[in-house]
Structures are given as structure tokens and as C-alpha cells.
């Protein structure tokens, strides 16, 4: 028997609250890069472990620092004077049954592959230096992976929370960044860099979106050209937002630090399409939550999911699973208006039997929780029963965690 609790939550659903703030750090943001690359490394390590050992071995590559390089932006194209430094840290099994596994090579090759696929102007050989600080894990944590059973024991005592449904504000913030970083948009506006951040602020039915977008200097001929291109992009953002949401009033702003007449000092211009070339560093865990958003009105897990192993580390597994369970409850139980799902692990206990699994629900209208309590509990129980399949989806990179 699992310790499952379902309770009534007496609060106003977020969609009906007066104020809401939602942020999304986009593809080329230094924090996003750290999360994405480290999770990519975990996926490749898991694949290598399965091929060589027949099982996923202990690893947690969830510590990383992207130290910004040095670049000189110029109209028509600038230069990179010092490359970005990417430091990979934490633990990874490098030997199994006297067989060596080159975790450092896997890490570097995985990072280079990610840059090649996602960043148009970063040369993964030329513009980035790599420093690998991966060491074997402790004996106790490695031993968890040698124990028998359908699922492994949790390698940490940790808690996570997920929710459903997403609000209109959350949806449009996420959609806007994905639109701006789509291949179609980049083909039409090559001057638009990948480093994009969208901040949404809603008051009642009024939406304010502030977008920060790194421009690529080789496509900008002058200050006047920059502001002309910026105006066209702002027009496109406005059209997209208005076509994809129904707020009463919408206000969109782009690169609000810009000041005409100050030359390069008054515009957001980069060489590589990301502030990582000279302006901003990044770390794992400072970017989006596992649903791709930073929603300040919501409770969220303090764990950085990206890079943690997908079969034992509940800081990753429960972090993502709570959102899946919440979505399942919301979709399968129509009487529920909003739901928050909490999972708490105990180190060493099988991950399919958390110390507690709880659902806090806001019911629609006068619906009674007692009538659907069992139905909600069954959703939690079913997802935990099939957690082994869920973990393999994580290991194969089928579920994004940033």
C-alpha cells in the first residue's frame, strides 16, 4: 500500500487571481544552455551504460558552469576574442567490471553535438573550451545501482511538486519563446539570436510581455538598421501574441534597455546570438522548471532536474513525474479545476513507494471531493506503479526537463 493523500485546497485558482508573473528563458540563454547540455550528457551516459553494462549506472551530472567569453560586437560582424568556458561537474561511473568508460569524452562530444544542433553561430570546436570535472560517486550511492528489484531505491530524501492546468499566461509565454526560436522565424529574421527571454505579467485580463532578444551583429549594418529590424520583429511578436491568446489588453515590449543615439552601447548586439559570448554566464538549475517555465505564483521544487540520473535520483524523477500526475488528474477527473501534486522520497526506499504522495485539489463549483477522491488516488497509484517505464522515457530523452 502506498501512502497517498488527497485533500481539498481552499484557495482561488491562479487563473482567477489578480496578479500573475511567468518567465521563460529561451534556447540560447546561458542558464538554458547549461540545463540542456547537462541533460544531453546524462542521456548519452545512460545509453553508453546500457550498451556496456546492460543497465544505467550511477551518475549525476547536474553541476555545470558556463563562464561567458569575450567578444567585440560590430555592425556587419564582430569577433570572438576569448571562447566560452564550459565546466562539467559532479559524479559519473567511469569503470564497470574492469571495463573503462570514458565519461569525459562522452561529456564533451555530447556538448558539441548539442551546440551543433541548436546554436547557429557557435562553432563548438572554436568558440567553446571544455573542462571536465566528473569523478566517481560515493560507494553508498553506487551500491544502490547494484541492488535487485523492479525499481531502484531513491538516492536522496527530496520533495517535488507539479501542477495542472497551465494558465493562459503560462501558455502564451512558452509559445512566444518557441515561436521566436523556431526555424521558420530564424529563416525570416536571421538577425534574431537564440538568447531570448520572455517575461509575462498579468493583472486581471491585461497582459504585459517583455521580451529580451540578442541580435546577431553580422546581420545589422548600423544603429538605424538595428532599430528598423527591431520594429519589424516587435510587429511580428505582437501579431503572434494577439493571434494565440485572448487577453482584453496586450502590451508587448522588446529590448527595453535600448536607447537611440548611443551606438553599440545602446542596443542588444552579440556576435554569436547569445549573451554567453561576452555578457552573461550560466548555471544548472537557474533556468526553467521542468515544465519549461518559471511561474512565480506556483510552488516549485528546489532541485535542478537536468543532468541527474533518470532511474534513482528523485530530484529528477519526482520533479517531472509530479507534472505528469497532475496533468493526468486534471484530464481524467473533470470535476477538478486545479491540482497540485506532491511527492516526497526517503533515501533508500524504492522510488515507486514515496514517503508520501499527495494531491491538493481545487474543485469546480459545488463538486464534492469525496465523490472523486478514489479516482484521483487511482491516478497517483497507477503512475507510481508504472514508474519504471517513465524512468526509461527520461533516460531516452523523450521528456524534456527544461
The pLDDT assigned to 143 comes to 85
Residue-wise DSSP of 123-189: -TTTSEEEEEEEE---HHHHHHTTS-SSSPBPSS--EEEEEE---HHHHHHHHHHHHHTSHHHHHH-
Q: pLDDT by residue (tens digit) across 60-76?
A: 999 999 999 999 999 99
The pLDDT assigned to 137 comes to 85
Range with lowest mean pLDDT among 149-158, 202-211, 245-254 = 149-158
Q: Give the separation between CA 195 and CA 263, rounded to whole angstroms.
A: 21
Set of cell numbers at residue 45: 551516459
Q: How confident is the model at residue 142 (pLDDT cuts 50, 70, 90)?
A: confident
Q: Residues 214, 230: contact at Cβ < 8 Å?
A: no
Q: Parallel, antiparallel, or unpaired for β 356-363 and 4-8?
A: parallel
The pLDDT assigned to 77 comes to 98
Q: How confident is the model at residue 19 (pLDDT cuts 50, 70, 90)?
A: very high
CA 225 to chain centre: 34
Instruction: Find the helix packing angle between 314-332 and 369-385, rounded to 10°.
Output: 140
Instruction: Supply the mean pLDDT for the chain.
Output: 97
Q: How confident is the model at residue 144 (pLDDT cuts 50, 70, 90)?
A: confident
The pLDDT assigned to 147 comes to 82
Q: pLDDT by residue (tens digit) across 362-380?
A: 999 999 999 999 999 999 9
The pLDDT assigned to 139 comes to 84
The pLDDT assigned to 221 comes to 98
Q: Residues 25, 178: contact at Cβ < 8 Å?
A: no
The pLDDT assigned to 305 comes to 96
pTM, entire model: 0.96
Q: Give the separation between CA 167 and CA 150, rounded to whole angstroms.
A: 37
The pLDDT assigned to 140 comes to 80
**Domains of the chain with CATH codes:** 4-13+157-167+289-395 (3.30.300.280), 30-144 (3.30.300.10), 168-283 (3.30.300.340)
Q: Give the separation between CA 322 and CA 159, rounded to whole angstroms.
A: 10
Q: What is the DSSP letter of 338?
A: E
Task: For residue 390, give Cα distances in angstroms to 23, 257, 385.
Answer: 27, 43, 10
Range with lowest mean pLDDT among 47-56, 136-145, 326-335 = 136-145
Q: For residue 321, is pLDDT > 80?
A: yes
Amino acid at each position: 500500500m502506498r501512502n497517498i493523500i488527497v485533500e481539498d485546497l481552499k484557495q482561488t485558482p491562479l487563473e482567477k487571481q489578480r496578479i500573475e508573473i511567468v518567465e521563460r528563458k529561451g534556447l540560447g540563454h546561458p542558464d538554458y544552455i547549461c540545463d540542456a547540455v547537462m541533460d544531453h550528457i546524462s542521456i548519452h551516459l545512460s545509453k553508453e551504460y546500457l550498451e556496456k553494462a546492460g543497465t544505467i549506472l550511477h551518475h549525476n551530472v547536474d553541476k555545470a558552469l558556463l563562464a561567458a567569453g569575450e567578444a567585440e560586437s560590430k555592425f556587419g560582424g564582430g569577433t570572438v576574442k576569448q571562447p566560452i568556458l564550459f565546466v562539467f561537474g559532479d559524479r559519473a561511473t567511469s569503470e564497470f567490471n574492469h571495463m573503462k568508460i570514458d565519461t569525459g569524452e562522452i561529456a564533451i562530444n555530447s556538448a558539441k553535438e548539442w551546440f551543433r544542433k541548436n546554436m547557429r553561430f557557435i562553432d563548438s570546436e572554436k568558440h567553446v573550451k571544455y573542462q571536465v570535472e566528473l569523478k566517481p560517486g560515493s560507494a553508498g550511492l553506487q551500491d544502490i545501482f547494484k541492488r535487485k528489484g523492479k525499481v531502484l531505491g531513491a538516492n536522496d530524501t527530496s520533495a517535488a511538486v507539479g501542477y495542472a492546468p497551465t494558465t493562459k499566461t503560462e501558455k502564451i509565454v512558452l509559445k512566444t519563446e518557441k515561436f521566436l526560436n523556431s526555424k521558420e522565424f530564424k529563416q525570416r529574421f536571421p538577425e534574431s539570436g537564440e538568447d531570448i527571454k520572455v517575461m509575462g505579467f498579468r493583472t486581471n485580463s491585461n497582459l504585459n510581455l517583455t521580451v529580451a532578444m540578442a541580435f546577431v551583429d553580422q546581420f545589422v549594418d548600423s544603429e538605424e538598421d538595428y532599430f528598423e529590424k527591431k520594429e519589424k520583429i516587435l510587429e511580428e511578436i505582437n501579431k503572434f501574441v494577439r493571434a494565440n491568446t485572448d487577453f482584453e489588453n496586450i502590451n508587448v515590449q522588446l529590448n527595453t534597455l535600448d536607447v537611440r543615439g548611443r551606438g553599440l552601447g545602446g542596443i542588444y548586439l552579440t556576435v554569436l546570438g547569445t549573451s554567453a559570448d561576452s555578457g552573461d554566464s550560466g548555471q544548472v538549475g537557474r533556468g526553467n522548471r521542468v515544465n519549461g517555465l518559471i511561474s512565480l505564483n506556483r510552488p516549485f521544487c528546489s532541485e535542478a532536474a537536468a543532468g541527474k540520473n533518470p532511474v534513482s535520483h528523485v530530484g529528477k524523477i519526482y520533479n517531472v513525474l509530479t507534472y505528469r500526475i497532475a496533468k493526468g488528474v486534471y484530464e481524467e477527473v473533470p470535476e477538478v479545476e486545479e491540482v497540485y501534486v506532491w511527492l516526497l522520497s526517503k533515501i533508500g526506499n524504492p522510488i515507486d513507494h514515496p514517503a508520501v504522495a499527495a494531491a491538493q485539489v481545487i474543485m469546480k463549483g459545488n463538486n464534492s471531493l469525496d465523490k472523486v477522491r478514489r479516482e484521483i488516488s487511482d491516478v497517483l497509484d497507477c503512475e507510481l506503479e508504472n514508474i519504471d517505464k517513465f524512468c526509461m522515457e527520461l533516460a531516452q530523452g523523450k521528456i524534456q526537463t527544461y
